[in-house]
Amino acid sequence: MAQKRFYLSNTDKKIAGVCGGIGEYFEIDSLLVRVAFLLLIFGCGTGLVAYLVLWLLAPKKNDIW
């Protein structure tokens, strides 16, 4: 059984592929993820920190063997 892994999207990205990767992982529309990040950024500011951490720590799709 193949293990499901989170990675930065190569195809569905606007900046770094974080939202596209989350959308692919949870099988939801990446637009919903982008809206959620925007609400977190403008609501309490934690969305930007979370986005940057995911961008720095998440592997790219090509890096996974």
Token pair for residue 3? Answer: 């293990």
Q: Which residues of 30-57 are buried (b: 16+ CB within 10 A; e: fewer)?
A: beebbeebeebeeeeeebeeebeebeee
For residue 42, is pLDDT > 60?
yes
Model pLDDT, residue 63: 53
Predicted confidence band of residue 21 (pLDDT cuts 50, 70, 90): very high
For residue 65, is pLDDT > 60?
no
Model pLDDT, residue 33: 95
Predicted confidence band of residue 12 (pLDDT cuts 50, 70, 90): confident
Residue count of the chain = 65
